[in-house]
Chain A
């Protein structure tokens, strides 16, 4: 059974159909990259999986269990699915360590003292050991984004969603964040990424999905999608993106 299954997912904002019958399977430990032009619906799809948006039709399954059931309490589901955003969204009034500890403290009722060792270990693993007690505005964009990843990981999620997490970064800071993603993939995390980093998607993804106007136009192994795209829309998009 796939870790995440999307069946004919439909999402509308008013008259605008943003996800138009999307089918997708993500296996345990897989990294799936969503590519496509801006406005294709990548962010919305990720937000739907994390139940930040409700869907009009279709089903979203986590371990075979329908999490898109209307009326379902979203909070227990969101604890199992971490999400990182393009604009970091760290809480500016808290230090990096406090950002990371807030949700485990409130949701799992753990004390700061109990959390400190495991959190310190996470910060060390991502090269942030000396930044734990800094406020977000004292950190570089790359450091902030890595803290945001640590914050999501501290909830011990089973799946991680990443929404163009390198798009707001200066080019020289992109590498350090992509390294973190490689580290996560090696640890066996199930991941879904919306990304414009074509080189990274080709190298690291298990599966690439090309989205256009809320539809999956083409999907497959990165080598197939990037080297021998079948659909003319995919060919046109890649011709522009890889130029």
Chain B
């Protein structure tokens, strides 16, 4: 029989409660101390006033923020039509690289070359080449739109990364699953579609989420070729007001999207790891 106190707790529970209270107190105290030091010491640094006026000007922030938010809608729109295309193209490339059918061998080579090239070139270079170069060939409207070619540059680049992640997922499914599917008389295509892919996709969802968070940030690269999205809009305000606060505003908007998304991806990953152990 365990001895319990009046509160219905064992000695061990009381001891652990006390430990927990103690460590919470210490953590809270040290966090407060660091926070106060930053708040008090940073404004005392030489040049702080100039930094504040240039980066954290409240008036500029309040005036430009709504317009920045408006411009960010374009970033979101470009993201929303690029993302499904990336998922589909990435999956097709992954499957092409995995095919064992000799008639499709050229597809395998193409798939490998494709992923090598687009992962090897800086995104901004691809955006310039395709997003600037192709409309520059003198195509008729609407085919000279930088929206189309800029989005295509992002789609091509990100599909290469996404394809490799899908491939790693496909390879992580144990060979015994393929053997079980084959022993039932399922075709290779059915075994891939119903047995391998569903498991592979589930495993790589957190990794893919991180890719799409990166994509949302890289949409800003299209500002170099024309579309007035948030980064470009912030640049316009910066020139107009001779102040960097609009860039800080843009950063705040990006963070409002990326931090929750990153946290969610981390949470999913931790959950998967728990389930598999």
Q: Which residues of A contact B (CB under 8 A)?
A: 47, 50, 52, 74-76, 78-79, 81-83, 85, 87, 89-93, 102-103, 106-107, 148, 151-152, 155
- Which residues of chain B have C-beta atoms less than 8 A from A151's C-beta? 184
- Measured between beta carbons, the chain A residues less than 8 angstroms from B184 are 78-79, 82, 102-103, 107, 151-152, 155
Once the chains are docked, how many angstroms separate the CA of A74 from the CA of B184?
A: 11
- Residues of B190-208 at the interface with A, using a CB-CB cut-off of 8 Å, are 190, 194-195, 198-199, 202
Q: Which residues of B contact A47 (CB under 8 A)?
A: 179
A50 to B181, CA, bound (A): 12
14 more CB-based (< 8 A) A-B contacts, given A81-B183, A89-B177:
A47-B179, A52-B182, A78-B182, A79-B184, A89-B176, A89-B180, A91-B181, A91-B195, A91-B199, A102-B184, A102-B194, A103-B184, A152-B183, A155-B185
Residues from chain A with a CB closer than 8 A to the CB of B194 are: 91, 102, 106
A93 and B185 contact, CB distance less than 8 A: no
Q: Which residues of A contact B199 (CB under 8 A)?
A: 91-93
* Least distance between B169 CB and chain A CB atoms (Å): 13
Say yes or no: is B187 at the interface (Cβ < 8 Å to chain A). Answer: yes
Q: Shortest Cβ distance from A91 into chain B, in angstroms?
A: 6
Task: Specify the chain A residue showing the minimal Cβ separation from B201.
Answer: A93
Q: How far is the CB of A77 from chain B (nearest CB, A)?
A: 8
- 13 A-B pairs within 8 Å (CB atoms) are namely A50-B183, A52-B183, A78-B182, A78-B183, A82-B183, A85-B176, A89-B180, A91-B194, A91-B195, A93-B199, A102-B186, A107-B186, A151-B184
CB contacts (< 8 Å) of A78 on chain B: these are 182-185
In the bound complex, what is the Cα–Cα distance between A52 and B187 (angstroms)? Answer: 13
Chain B minimum-CB-distance residue to A75: B185
Give the docked Cα–Cα distance between A22 and B152 (Å).
59
Closest to A154 in B: B184
A106 → B minimal CB distance (Å): 5
Chain B residues positioned under 8 Å from A82 (CB to CB): 183-184
CA distance in complex: A79, B195 (Å) = 17
Query: How many B residues face the partner with a CB closer than 8 A?
Result: 17
Q: Return A195 CB to nearest CB of chain B, in Å.
A: 18
A93 to B194, CA, bound (A): 10
Chain A, Cβ-Cβ closest to B183: A83
Query: Bound complex: CA of A35 vs CA of B84, how far in Å?
Result: 54
* A-B CB proximity, top 8 nearest: A79-B185, A89-B180, A103-B184, A83-B183, A78-B185, A106-B190, A89-B176, A93-B198
Shortest A122–chain B CB gap in Å is: 14
Contacts of B198 in A (CB 8 A): 93
Q: Would B202 and A93 count as touching, CB distance under 8 A?
A: yes
- Distance to closest chain B CB from A86 (angstroms): 9
Q: A93-B199, A93-B202, A106-B194 are in contact. Are A52 and B179 (CB under 8 A)?
A: yes
> Roughly how many angstroms separate A148 CA and B179 CA in the complex, as a whole number?
13
A76 close to B176 (CB less than 8 A):
no
Chain B residue contacts of A106, Cβ below 8 A: 186-187, 190, 194
Nearest B residue (CB) for A104: B184
Minimum Cβ distance to chain A for residue B7 (Å): 37
CA distance A91 to B186 in the complex (A): 13
Interface centre among B176, B177, B180, B183 (most CB of A within 10 A): B183
**CA A197 to CA B154, docked complex, whole Å:** 60
Q: Bound complex: CA of A91 vs CA of B176, how far in Å?
A: 10
CB-CB under 8 A from B180, the residues of chain A are: 85, 89-91, 148
**A-contact 0/1 string along B243-263, CB 8 Å cutoff:** 000000000000000000000
Q: How far is the CB of B252 from chain A (nearest CB, A)?
A: 40
For A76, A93, A151, the residue with the greatest tally of chain B CB atoms inside 10 Å of its CB is: A93
The answer, among B177, B179, B186, for a CB contact under 8 Å with A103, is B186
Beta-carbon contacts under 8 Å, B158-193 to A: 176-177, 179-187, 190
For the complex, what is the distance from the CA of A55 to the CA of B2, rounded to whole Å?
66
A85 and B185 alpha carbons, distance in the complex (Å): 15
B191 to chain A, nearest CB (A): 9
CA A107 to CA B185, docked complex, whole Å: 7
What is the distance, in angstroms, from A158's C-beta to the closest C-beta of chain B?
12
Taking the closest CB of chain A, its distance from the CB of B194, in whole angstroms, is 6
Known: A102-B194, A106-B194. A91 touches B177 (CB 8 A): yes
Which of A74, A76, A92, A106: most chain B Cβ within 10 A?
Answer: A106
If A102-B194, A106-B194 touch, whether A89 touches B179 (CB-CB below 8 Å) is yes
